[in-house]
Amino acid sequence: MELTDALRTTGSVRAFLDESVSDEVLYAILDDARFAPSGGNRQAWHVIVVKDSLRRRALRDLYLDGWHDYIAHVLAGLVPFSPLASDEDRAAAASHRDAAIATSKPDGFPETLDQVPVMLVICADLAALAATDRDLDRYQIAGGASIYPFVWNILLAARARGLGGVMTTIATRNEPGVRDVLDIPRSHIVASIVALGHPASRATRLRRRAVEEFTTTDGFDGERFSLAN
């Protein structure tokens, strides 16, 4: 598969065929993904391949709890877990929690997370992250630059092998519980759960904003960057 094709067709896949993925294929995916860039080439990721059914179900329950919080925000007309959320926003989301639970469906992705062919929990070693925004009085995000390119490489490597998957961070809502289930040390945080498998279907056309909609010249409010200019 050409790189451009992979970049334009690797969408999120949450529904999988009842077909296993061999350890050999998963190893090859991780073997390719490990070449992702990271700060100082410290490669701060640690991958847990979760196979045990009891641990999978425990992670599903923690994920589903966070998912209900996510949907509660949506029902309240809010961006879920926005760093700019006010106390009023949080209260509004909480008031929709019961309604969010009522939306659950037995065959939904959150409800069946324990059944995905491959479940990976991606952890990040805090001691290896160069979080350059650590001391700023705002939401911190820079440290993720040393972890999420690796996660994205997993999805690209899976796509190259005809598989699909999704990177999700919902379970970090209940990180203490995830730590307990997987014996994760305090030196590491939960960056993502990645589900992989043979896709039940694949989007034929991904919808994204045009370059002109998110790129400006010489300043945030500068002229739109466009070949038409």
Number of structural domains in the chain: 1
Q: Is residue 93 part of a domain?
A: no
The tokens describing 87, both together, are 């106390």
pLDDT of residue 193 exceeding 70, the answer is yes
CA pair distance 59, 121, nearest whole angstrom: 10
Q: What is the DSSP string of 96-109?
A: THHHHHHT--TTST
Residue 146: give the domain boundaries: 3-50+111-214
Q: What are phi and psi of 165, to 5 degrees?
A: -175, -175
**Domain CATH code at residue 19:** 3.40.109.10
Q: Is residue 20 part of a domain?
A: yes
Q: Name which of 117, 104, 143 is nearest 50 in CA terms.
A: 117
Q: Is residue 40 part of a domain?
A: yes
Q: Is residue 124 part of a domain?
A: yes
Torsion of CA 145, 172, 54, 49, to 10 degrees: 0
pLDDT of residue 194 exceeding 70, the answer is yes
Q: Is residue 11 part of a domain?
A: yes
**147-191: pLDDT as tens digits:** 999 999 999 999 999 999 999 999 999 999 999 999 999 999 999
Q: Is residue 18 part of a domain?
A: yes
Return the DSSP state at 6: H
Q: Is residue 76 part of a domain?
A: no
Quick check: 80 and 170 in contact, CB under 8 A? no
